Amino acid sequence: MVTNRTFTMLKPDAVEKGNIGAILDKISASGFKIIALKLTQMTTNDAKTFYAIHKERPFYGELVDYMTRGPIVAAILEKDNAVEDFRTLIGATNPADAAEGTIRKLFADSISENAVHGSDSNENAAIEGAFHFAGREIF
Ligand code: IDP
Ligand code: MG
């Protein structure tokens, strides 16, 4: 199991607001190496599968609609302790609770439209990275 990789998406709100460059810059400046990167759009089926763990939650339908309404940027990132350090960099799920200087504090509007995804475990980082990227797209 690779333990120095995580997976991220810059969500549709971040892309709509023109924040791709600023967020990628912050990710790079924080010591993460981008080893896979693409602009893509999830289908409804993709989003349902990606977020299947939340399917019983009341916000599941809203989450699927949000995540499919426009393009996202998907990326695999490499750094020592990547999963935990990236969760620290993005901040709490609700930007109102996110620490100063975190990506969600800087770029997110609400608990639902919160600018970025970050994997929550090494296992999910591998699953989520493989969901979006073929082996030859990972460098
Ligand atoms: P995380 O993205 O910080 O890991 P999760 O609990 O895994 O947070 O939730 C996945 C995504 O679902 C969140 O990033 C957010 O977009 C959305 N979400 C989470 N909680 C709520 C909520 O209470 N209302 C609406 N959307 C939510
Ligand atoms: Mg999560």
The CATH number that applies at residue 58 is 3.30.70.141
* 49 Cα–ligand 1 center, Å: 15
Mean pLDDT across 18-31: 98
Q: Which of 119, 16, 11, 23 is closest to 64 using CA atoms? A: 11
Q: What are phi and psi of 77, to 5 degrees?
A: -120, 145
Q: Which atom of ligand 1 is found nearest the CA of 117?
A: 2
Residue nearest to atom 15 of ligand 1 (CA): 112
- Does the beta carbon of 120 lie inside 6 Å of ligand 1? yes
* 118 Cα–ligand 1 center, Å: 11
Q: What is the extent of the structural domain holding 76?
A: 5-137
Question: What is the identity of the amino acid at 93?
Answer: T
Q: Is the pLDDT of residue 1 over 70?
A: no
Domain count, the chain: 1
Give the model confidence (pLDDT) of 105-130 as tens digits: 999 999 999 999 999 999 999 999 99
